[in-house]
Each structure stands twice: as structure tokens, then as C-alpha cells.
Structure 1
Amino acid sequence: MAAPDIDGISRRMDGAVDNLRKEFAGLRTGRASANLLDPVQVEAYGSSMPLNQVATVSVPEPRLITVQVWDRGMVKATEKAIREAGLGLNPQTDGNTIRVPIPDLNQERRQELVKVANKYAEQARVAVRNVRRDGMDHLKKLQKDGDLSEDEHKTWSDKVQALTDAHIKKIDEAFAAKEKDITQI
């Protein structure tokens, strides 16, 4: 009997959940976080680079992020990248340092962020379901080829479904926690 790669399926589903957590880390909740600037890409040396490859990001106060740019020539490009990243931030340059104050969130902005978080969660759910579909297709192929009996097919299908349910539950819990974090004043 050729057993399906349940560990591989689980790993791929874990990847979707981890990716969601990274996406959530970049969502602003009113408190400063170095992860907030993770999605920022800076045009540097003829290519697009993550902000953390051209500067050091730190959080000296709860409502302030500082970005210490290593190359003086990259300060303008870095400031522009932060401003245009769609995070609603307004950076201010001071020599090699860029200060990024975190404004208070109004109710409208909070609702917008919850919608964005929900979109990220739905993308993660779709990714998990796609992994499930791949796993089920593989099981059908094994059964068709005679490598899996009908009972074994049912057993493995149940295992794949249980993994799917567990990962969807993790996604829902992460979304609920993020929603609470965003709406909390």
C-alpha cells in the first residue's frame, strides 16, 4: 500500500497558517510594532528590497517607529517607500533616521482593518482547502491505480479532512484574536 504524504499535507497547511500570522503582524492596531513595516519594499540599487535589508527598524515608544537607514543615499527612497506602502503612515526624516509616528485609529479605519484581516483569513482558508483538494485528488489516483482499497481511501480521506478542519479552526481563532486587537480601543 502506498500511503499518502500526510506530513507533507500538514506542512503545507501549516505554511498557510504561518503566512496568515505574518500578514496579521503587518496590520496596524494603533500600537507601534517593528513588524508593521515588514511589507515595505524599497527601490534600492536597481532592485526592490525589503526595508529590513536597507535599515534597522526599532520601536523606542509605543506610538513611534524609528528607521535607521544605513546608506545616507537611501534615506529619500526609504521614506518614499514607507509613505507609499498603503499603511496610512506619514514618515518624517531627520538625517539618517526616519521617524514614523503611529496615529490613533478612528472607528472607520478600524472597520477597514477588520475587513482587510478577514480578506487575509479567507485567502488562508482557500490555501488550506486547495491543499486538501490536492490530497484528496492524490488519494483518488492511488485508489484508481489499485494502490489503495476503498476502506483505506476512506480512512485517509478522514485524516485529510480532520487536518483541514483543524487548520481552518486555527485560522478562525487567529482572525478572532486579530479582530479583537483591532477593535479594542
Structure 2
Amino acid sequence: MSYDSVLKDAESRMEKALSHSRDMLKNIRTSRASSALVEHVRVDYYGTPTPLSQVAQISVPEPRTLTIKPFDASIIKEIEKAIMKSDIGISPESDGKIIRLTMPPLSGDQRRKYAAKAKDFGEEGRVSLRNIRRDANKEADALKKDGEITEDSHKDLQDEIQKLLKVYEVKVTEVLDKKTTEILED
């Protein structure tokens, strides 16, 4: 490993941690309809648990309505069962060809609960970033111990890793703040 490879590895891992945080926050319900809310739902498709997005077209025709149109109409009952089993808290309405999910407005308690859940996911993201910093600093220490970098380079590398951490912590905070705003607005 070298100075640059330690930095590149840390940045790559931090980008993945940020992406994971975004994905986790997408799954939290707001008052608005979003296809991300049901994409993770797994449908029993001929005995295989398959993501809903692979067996149906998901669209948002209105701000509070999701429509799910299966590619194969014979699995509409399976899709309904999968949605009922999921933890999104919305009952599907089917006309035999299309499933509609109407998002009821969130109560104040629900908003606070979802905002707290989002905050927890944000904190998990920050902890993950700090763990990546710790690992990168260990690699930097190993480089110094092996004589591959000087004392000054070691200090510079640790400073660069810290700057990288701060940049990604700000990004996680921005994503979290945006999601919290969506949750708390009507």
C-alpha cells in the first residue's frame, strides 16, 4: 500500500457508506409517494423471492399514490401479500390488473417516529465513516512502521484522512436533513 492508495481506498469506502445511508433513508416513509418505498419488497415469484421492481412497473401518478402494474397479471395476489407482510403500513387496493397504494397523511407521532428512525440511520452512517477513518489510520501507521513513508508524510496522510471524513460527514448530514424535512412536512 502507498500514501495515495490508502487515501483512495478510504474515499471509496466512505462513498459506499454514504450510498448505503442514502439507500436506508429512501426506505423511510414520508407523506409523499415514492417508488423507493416498495422496491425492496420481495415477492414470491414461482418460488423465488424477487424484488418487486423486477416483476412490476412502479409509478407515482399523484403525489400520494403509487401504482404497481405487474408484468405477469397472475402474480397480483402474491404482490398484495408481499406488501401486506412488509412494514410500510399501507394496504393495497387492487382492481385485478393494477395495485394502488394511497399514502395516508402521517400523524404527528408517526412523523416524530420516522424522523427518529432517520436520525438513527444518519448516526449509523457517521459511525461507519469513523470506522473507515480508523482503518485508514491503522494502514498509515503500518506504512510508517515499515518505513514506506516518513513521519511528516504520516502526519499529512492522517490530516488528509481527517479532511475526507469531515467532507463525508457533511454529506451524510445533508442527506439526513433533506429526509427529515420531507418527513416533517405535510
Is the counterpart of residue 2 in structure 1 residue 5 in structure 2? no
The percent identity for this pair of structures is 36
**What pairs up with 1:124-139 in 2 under 5 angstroms?**
124-139=125-140
Q: Is contact 1:13-1:131 (8 Å) kept? A: yes
Structure 1 residue 183 and structure 2 residue 147: aligned?
Answer: no
Q: Which moved more, 1:126-135 or 1:154-163?
A: 126-135
Alignment of 1:115-130 (within 5 A): 115-130=116-131
> Residue type matched to 1:107 in 2?
G
- Aligned mates of 1:125, 1:107 — CA distance in 2: 27
- Contact conserved, 1:79 with 1:91, CA < 8 A, in 2? yes
Normalized against structure 1, the TM-score is what? Answer: 0.94
Q: Deviations over 1:27-77 (max 9, x none)?
A: 221011122212211122222211100100011111111100112231111
Asked if structure 2 preserves the Cα contact closer than 8 Å seen for 1:66 and 1:98, the reply is yes
What secondary structure does 2:105 align onto?
A: coil
Q: Distance in 2 between matches of 1:153 and 1:144?
A: 10
| Corresponding position of 1:159 | 160
Measure, in 2, the Cα distance between the counterparts of 1:9 and 1:48: 34
**What is the alpha-carbon distance in structure 2 between the residues aligned to residue 57 and residue 18 of structure 1?**
22
Q: What secondary structure is seen at the aligned counterpart in 2 of 1:100?
A: strand
1:60-71 equivalent positions in 2, closer than 5 A:
60-71=61-72
**Which runs of no fewer than 5 residues in structure 1 stay unpaired?**
none
Counterpart for residue 90 of structure 1: 91
1:106 matched to 2:76? The reply is: no
Aligned to 1:146: 147
In the superposition, the TM-score normalised over structure 2's length comes to: 0.93
Kindly indicate whether the alpha-carbon contact (under 8 Å) linking 1:139 and 1:153 is maintained by their aligned counterparts in 2. Answer: yes
2:12 corresponds to: 11
**SS of 2:3's equivalent?**
coil
Letter in 1 for 2:147: G
Q: State the one-letter code of the partner of 2:162.
A: Q
Q: Deviations over 1:121-148 (max 9, x none)?
A: 1121122112111111111111111111
SS at match of 2:113: helix
